[in-house]
Amino acid sequence: MANPAIAEKFARFKGKRALVMGLGLWQGGVEAVKFLHRWGASEILVTDLRDEKTLAPSLEAISYIPVTLRLGEHREADFARAQVVIHSPAVRPDNRFLVAAREAGAEVTQEMSLFIEACPAKTVGITGSNGKTTTTTLTYEMLRWSYAPGQASLWTQWADPIPSSDVPDCVEPPEQPPNVWLGGNLGTPLINRLDEIRSRDIVVLELSSFQLMDWHRICKSCDYSLITNITPNHLDWHRDFAEYSWAKQAIFRYGGCQALLNADDGETTRMFGDVPEHVRLFSLKLPAGKLRLGRRDGQVVASGVRGQLKLCVEPQEGNTSPSIIQVAQRADLRLPGEFNWANAVAAAALVSRVLDPEDLGNVSRAMRTFRGVEHRLEPCGEVNGARVYNDSIATDPAATLAALSAFDKGIHLILGGGTKNIDYTELGKRIATHGGIKAVYLQGTTAPVLKAAIASAVGVQHAAPLNECATFDEACERAFKALAPGDVLLMSPASTSFYEYAPGKKFANFEERGKHFKALVAQASRLRA
């Protein structure tokens, strides 16, 4: 039975001519079609530039729903006729087809915007240029020690099982403990599970700038939010860095959201001077408590100084000032790299806003059981006695800079891929001055730009050889042959996966690139065993 409040919100779609722009392969378009069908759209047209063969899995998922397909093209007449359009976040709001739909009077929206409009539970949103997936999943893991699972399939995806004695259970039927849910850019969209989400649940969301751009239109934010950092990214989509940064800010700008910003990041620190009073900070450099940041006072609610995670907890009954408590230390976290420690501090900052103080012991428990997320500095075996890491998520130079900070010597680095029109100067300088890099393997469309950035590092003679490779596979094979015991092979491309990595072959996304790399590693391990 539908939640009456949700049914009332979505009654506006009943009998409407609807269009879904971008069915895609990652379930967002599929869930949009199911949503429109459920709420009574009279017609549903699906339009996508890809062909039927490419979209086969998604088409199979909606085969029971009567839809009209427009594949391989978009037609302006379809948009002008539609009364509601749900489009992929990857489509810019000023796309000419969306403009035509708005001019004809259609409601133009996204699946994530519909979800935040109607979600009955408190929402916790995380965004940022780097680290948002690890921070989001760590936040979820810290909360799952206090909440029951909303999605049982995720319960051990990133972490070791919780002992059965510690799993929240029913107090007394028909009472149930609150659930924790995970959505946004992670897993299956939650738009069609709104009836299962209750007001006392908590929903953790990873959010992209593409999704958040639309939240400025609807003036919606999460109840609790955090920005990990903001560095140049997706400048092939956004007009400029200013638009990209503004898009991210929708996560906290509306509705009295309790927000957290990174006091160690240049852009979020600049932003702090022009944000509502309810915004707080987290830091690896500053101690917990009140301080002066720029032209205004701030409060660091989570600090990771010297590997000690301390939280500033709001005053409890009978107290007049916040208390500072230590809840974890660096040794509790399995993941390598200072940036992962920053992710853990950020996640702890969020849960300190949500959980009661007596539950904050769950922070260290979650850190000790958290294994990490696939394709994010993921250990994936050994070749010739060298450790191999899959960091396919590194689609921009800031991510690769973070990955390099986790290692000090014996590094073989695979770089290159598709372009985002991002400057590589800082990455080039870091590679040229690192001292612990034994070799760099360049491939993909960004290889010439990366080579130039490394070669032009001022006053630096790069000692490690730059190997130019025709394909991704060639780069991997040359690296495998060069590895020696104790070395590190790091595939952290600083580029997107959208390019021809071999003649006639293209990666569909960074996940496919990572899985392909791991398959090559496994093969090389067997051959060299």
Each residue's pLDDT expressed in tens, for the chain with a length of 529 residues: 578 999 999 999 999 999 999 998 778 899 999 999 999 999 999 999 999 999 999 999 999 999 999 999 999 999 999 999 999 999 999 999 999 999 999 999 999 999 999 999 999 999 999 999 999 999 999 999 989 889 988 878 888 877 766 655 544 444 678 999 999 998 889 999 999 999 999 999 999 999 999 999 999 999 999 999 999 988 889 999 999 999 999 999 998 899 999 999 999 999 988 877 789 999 999 999 998 887 788 999 999 999 999 999 876 665 667 789 999 999 999 998 899 999 999 999 999 999 999 899 999 999 999 999 899 999 999 999 999 999 999 999 999 999 999 999 999 999 999 998 899 999 999 999 898 999 999 999 999 999 999 988 855 555 689 999 999 999 999 999 999 999 999 999 999 999 999 999 999 899 999 999 999 999 999 987 6
Edge-to-edge strand ranges of the sheet holding 488-491: 378-383, 386-390, 488-491, 411-415, 437-442, 466-468
Whole-angstrom CA distances from 92 to 199, 212, 214, 247, 450 are 33, 12, 10, 12, 28
What residues pair up with 281 in beta bridges, in sequence order? Answer: 261, 300
Fold of the CATH domain 114-369: UDP-N-acetylmuramoyl-L-alanine:D-glutamate ligase (3.40.1190)
Name which of 437, 434, 449, 279 is nearest 353 in CA terms. Answer: 279
Name which of 400, 498, 490 is nearest 454 in CA terms. Answer: 400
Fold of the CATH domain 15-109: Rossmann fold (3.40.50)
The pairing of strands 224-227 and 122-127 is parallel
Q: Phi and psi at residue 79, in whole multiples of 5°?
A: -75, -35
Residue boundaries of the structural domains of the chain = 15-109, 114-369, 378-527
What residue has token string 């939240």? 215
For 85-141, how does the pLDDT look when each residue is reduced to its tens digit (9 = 90+)? 999 999 999 999 999 999 999 999 999 999 999 999 999 999 999 999 999 999 999
Query: CA–CA separation, 240 vs 504, rounded Å?
Result: 32
C-alpha torsion angle, residues 410, 134, 509, 379 (rounded to 10): 30
What pLDDT shows up at residue 170? Answer: 43
Q: Is the pTM of this model over 0.75?
A: yes
What pLDDT shows up at residue 26? Answer: 75
What pLDDT shows up at residue 169? Answer: 54
C-alpha torsion angle, residues 374, 375, 380, 385 (rounded to 10): -150
Identify whether the C-beta of residue 235 lies closer than 8 Å to the C-beta of residue 221.
Answer: no
C-alpha torsion angle, residues 480, 372, 408, 281 (rounded to 10): 150
Query: CA–CA separation, 82 vs 195, rounded Å?
Result: 27
What pLDDT shows up at residue 316? Answer: 62
What residue has token string 């009364």? 83
What pLDDT shows up at residue 174? Answer: 46
Helix and strand numbers, DSSP H then E, in the chain: 17, 24
Concatenated DSSP letters for 489-519? EEE--SSBS-SEEETTEE-SSHHHHHHHHHH
3-state secondary structure 231-287: CCCCCCCCCCHHHHHHHHHCCCCCCCCEEEEECCCHHHHHHHCCCCCCEEEEECCCC
Name which of 403, 412, 414, 396 is nearest 495 in CA terms. Answer: 396
Identify whether the C-beta of residue 145 lies closer than 8 Å to the C-beta of residue 365.
Answer: yes
Name which of 86, 55, 91, 62 is nearest 508 in CA terms. Answer: 55
What pLDDT shows up at residue 529? Answer: 65
Identify whether the C-beta of residue 527 lies closer than 8 Å to the C-beta of residue 385.
Answer: no
Look up the CATH number of domain 378-527.
3.90.190.20
Identify whether the C-beta of residue 328 lies closer than 8 Å to the C-beta of residue 364.
Answer: yes
Peptide linkage before 174 cis (omega within 30 of 0) = yes
What pLDDT shows up at residue 176? Answer: 72
The pairing of strands 323-329 and 308-313 is antiparallel
